[in-house]
Structure 1
C-alpha cells in the first residue's frame, strides 16, 4: 500500500490489526495520557480516540510506538535501511556511475528524495481562521503549564539563503490563536529565528500536524546541518514528498498533512512557557520563549489530530529515536571510519548517554573520536560518551559495563569537560543550556582487570554495613553497584568508594527511592538524568598535578534527586483510578 499521509497509514494499521478505535468519550487532559502510556507498556496497537471531550476532531496516539509499526512505516527494518544507505555512499565516494546499477533500490530512494509541487493538496481542502480550541490538544502531566501540541512539524527558512529546516519543537497553547515556540539550542529553526531577529523582521513559519511516518521520522532525525528533512523523507518513503505553497505565508508545506498552521513569530516577543513533562522523565522549568501567532489554518476534510506523550521511559519517542539512529548511525563512518557503531540510549533521554564502538588504529584514537563527536551537530549536546572496542556491541548495556570493568582506568581514560553547552532540557547543572560533559574510554588497554568479584549479596550487605543509609542495592554486570538512599547521596557514595573493604565494582552510583533498581531500564534513567559530571562525579582519589586533574580508584556518582531539580513525572491518583474504572469500556 502506498502511504502518503497519516490517514493512509492509519488505514494500513487498521488492515493489519495494529489499530484500536476508542469510541468512549475521553478527556484530553491527563486521561488520554494514562490510557496511552498503559497501552504502550502493554504492547497494544495504535489508538484512535474518536470522541474527545470538547474537540471537533479525532485524536491519534501511539501511531509509531512499536518496532513492528516502525517497520510497517518504512517497509523494512531501519537497521537494514541504514546499512543499504552507507553501502551506497561508500561505493559512491569517489563518484562512480556504476554505483547506481549496483544499488538499484537505494538509487530509486535517492531519486525520490526530490520533492514535487502539486496543485491538488488535501491539506488545504478546508481553509479557516485559527481556533485551536477545536483541536484535541493534550495536557500530558498534572503540573504542565497547559495543553501542548506535542507532534508539531515546524517549517522555517533561513532569511539569508532561503534554506529550509523542518524540526519538532513543543508548542504550548496559550489561546485559540497563539502558542509558544520552544526553540532549543542547536536546533535549525532556532538558528533561523536568530538570523531573522538580528534583521528585525517578523519571522513567517508554518507548522504541519499529522503527516505520513516518513516525514515525521525525518522531522525528528538528527540530520547534519544543511541536510534537507523533506528530501530525507522522500528517501525513507521511496516516493517523492508532495508540497504546496502556503495560503498566507510564502512557505512550501506538505500537501498531504492533516493540518497546517500558518503565521508569524515576532522578533522581540517572549512569553513564559512551561513547565512541561519532557522525555527526561521530569518537568522542564518554565522559561521565556518566542510566541507563534497563527493567522490561518488549513486542513483535510475529516482530519485527524496526532499527539504523543513523552516522559519517563519507555514512551513512543523510544521507537522514533531508535529508528532514526538505526538509519543514520552508519553514516558517521563517512566522517569517522574508525567507528563501527554508536548508540544513544533512550533510557537516558538519548542525549545523556552515547556509546561508541571504535577500531583503534593508534593509541587513544577512541578518545580523539569522542572529543570530535562532542562537536558534531546535535551530538554536541551529549552529556556522557563511553567508547568501547570494535568487538563490543554498544547497544548492549551489560557488554558495555563488562568493557568498563576490564579496561577503564580513570587516570588515563576519563575526561570531564566543564561549563559547556548542554541540552536545554538538562536540569542537573541548575543553569539552562550549560553544564558539564564526560568521556570514559573503555577500549582495550592490553591488561584486563581480572580481579575476583565477590557475589552480589556479599557486596550489597557489605555496602549496608559500611553505611547504614543504604536502603537497597543492585549490582549490574559485576561493574556498577547501585545503592538506594533517601538523602545524603554524595556522602554515602564518597564513603563507599573510599572503603578498602568494598572490593569489586568499579563504579558506585546512588539513586533516590523512586528509581526501581530491579529494572535496568529504570536504573539507567535514574542515573543518567540526575547527575552533573563536574559536581556529582567523584573518585577514590582525586587531585591536581599542575593544572591537570588526576583521578584514581573507584568512580562514584551521586545520581540522587536534589533540591532545585524539577519534580519527576507522576500521574494523579484521581486519573489513575478513573482509568482503572473505565478501562474495559475503552475497548468495547
Structure 2
C-alpha cells in the first residue's frame, strides 16, 4: 500500500491492532523511549502518545520496532520480497512532482521555537534531546541533485541544533564543500514523511541519484514535493513537520554523548557544525516522530536490516552466482543490523565461501563479520545458524581475520569508521562425506500435540 505519510500508515496500523494509543501522561525524557525499547525487545506495536508532558503535540514512536512492519513498509511478505522491492525501486525510479501546496504548509512559522516540539531524550547518558527520525534534505553542490539521509541532531537552543553527518555522506559532504567556499548549506529536516521517503533516504545509491525518486519507486507513484519557505529546498508535501535550517560548516557546535546503534555512547564531538533554524512548516495538528537508537534491539538497526541485506546480496553475487539467502543479524536475539552478515550458498568449489567473505567485507554493507553457510541452513532460524558454525567449523582452517579496513562505523573497539574484520566458512568441505554433517531428525514431531 502506498501511504503518502506516516499518519496514513499509523491509521492503518491502528485499525489492524498494531498501534497502541497511549492517553496517559508521558515524559519525552526517557519514558517514550522506554515504551519503544520494550516493543523492540518483544517485536511489539507502534505507539501514538496523545498526552506528552509540557507539549500540545502528539508523538509517534516504535514504527520500526518489529520486522513485520519493516517488511510491510517495503511492500514484502518475506525478507526476499522486501529486498527485491528495495533493489528494484533503486533502479526503476519515479521522479518526484513539484506542487504548489500541501498539508505540511498549513502552518508556517518564521519565528520558530524548537522547545514547542516534544523532541525525545532516549538513553540515560544522552547529553540532551535528539532528533533521530528526521530525513535531512540538501541540494548537493557536487552533483546538482537533492541529497537525503538520516543523521542525529542535538537540540542546543530554541533555534539551534548540531549535526552529526560523516564526511562521505551526502549532507556531510555538501556542507563541507560549501564551507570551503564560505557559504552556509540550506537543509530541511523532514519529520513524519511516508515510509517510502524514509526508506528511500537510506537506499544505497550513488550521489547523483535523487532519493525522492527511489521513494517513488517504492510507492509506485511520484512523491509530491512543495518548495520551502525560508530555504530553497523541496520537501514532501504530506510530511508532518519540516524544520528549515542553515548549516554553518565553519562554526562548531559540540554534541554527544549519545547512545548509538552498536549499544554504546559516542564520545563528545567538538567538530560538528552549528545549525541555525530559519523556519518551521507543519500540519495544523502535526505529530512528531522519534526513532530509538542505543543498545540493540533498536529501531535504527531494524530500519537498516533490509537495505543492508540488499547490499550484502549484491556483494555476494559479485563473488559467486549461487547465493541462496542473506541476512544481517538484528532483532530480539541480538545483532545491531550492521556488523554481522550471513550468506547461504550452493557451494560448488571450496574457494567459494572465501570469495563471498572477501567481497562482502570489502563491500558497501560495512559488515565487520561475515559467515557463509550451506544452503541447507535457514538463516532466519538462529538455532540452525548456531548449529552450523558449532559443527562445521575448525577455527584454524575456517576462520580468517583481515587487517584494518573501512567499515563497521561507530565500532568502539576500532579506529574511526574502520575495523579489523573476520570471516567464517561454516560450509561442509567438498572432499568430506556430507552424511557426517547431516542433522538428526525426529519423525512425527510436527504431528504431536498436547
The CA distance in 2 between the partners of 1:223 and 1:341, in whole Å, is 22
C-alpha contact (below 8 Å) 1:407/1:449 kept by paired residues: no
The CA distance in 2 between the partners of 1:392 and 1:241, in whole Å, is 40
Q: Determine the structure 2 residue equivalent to 1:520.
A: none
Q: Does 1:394 align with 2:376?
A: no
Q: Determine the structure 1 residue equivalent to 2:290.
A: 307
C-alpha contact (below 8 Å) 1:405/1:449 kept by paired residues: no
Q: Determine the structure 1 residue equivalent to 2:196.
A: 214
Q: CA deviation at 1:427?
A: 0.5
Q: Determine the structure 2 residue equivalent to 1:528.
A: none
**Length, aligned pairs only:** 433
Alpha-carbon displacement from aligned partner over 1:230-251 (angstroms, at most 9, x marks no partner): 2222222222211122222222
Q: CA deviation at 1:50?
A: 1.2
TM-score with structure 2 setting the length = 0.85
Change (3 A) 1:31 1:449: farther
Q: Determine the structure 1 residue equivalent to 2:448.
A: none
Structure-to-structure mapping, 1:150-549, within 5 angstroms = 150-184=132-166, 186-223=168-205, 226-288=208-270, 289-317=272-300, 319-325=302-308, 335-336=318-319, 337-346=321-330, 347-377=334-364, 379=365, 381-429=366-414, 431-446=415-430
Q: Does 1:125 align with 2:109?
A: no
The CA distance in 1 between the partners of 2:29 and 2:296, in whole Å, is 20
TM-score with structure 1 setting the length = 0.66
Which deviates more from structure 2 when the two are superposed, residues 6-15 or residues 257-266?
Answer: 6-15
RMSD of aligned Cα (Å): 3.2
Q: CA deviation at 1:85?
A: 4.7
Change (3 A) 1:359 1:227: farther
Change (3 A) 1:416 1:229: same
Q: CA deviation at 1:333?
A: 6.6
Q: Determine the structure 1 residue equivalent to 2:443.
A: none
The CA distance in 2 between the partners of 1:154 and 1:53, in whole Å, is 27
The CA distance in 1 between the partners of 2:390 and 2:40, in whole Å, is 35
Q: CA deviation at 1:192?
A: 2.8
Q: Does 1:77 align with 2:77?
A: yes
Secondary structure of the residue aligned to 1:38 is: helix
Alpha-carbon displacement from aligned partner over 1:119-152 (angstroms, at most 9, x marks no partner): 1221122111321100111111221111111101
Change (3 A) 1:332 1:369: closer
Change (3 A) 1:83 1:137: closer
Q: Determine the structure 2 residue equivalent to 1:35.
A: 35
Ranked by relative contact order (alpha carbons within 8 Å, sequence separation 6 or more), the top structure is 2
Unaligned runs of 5+ in 1: 90-105, 453-476, 478-588
Q: Determine the structure 1 residue equivalent to 2:121.
A: 139
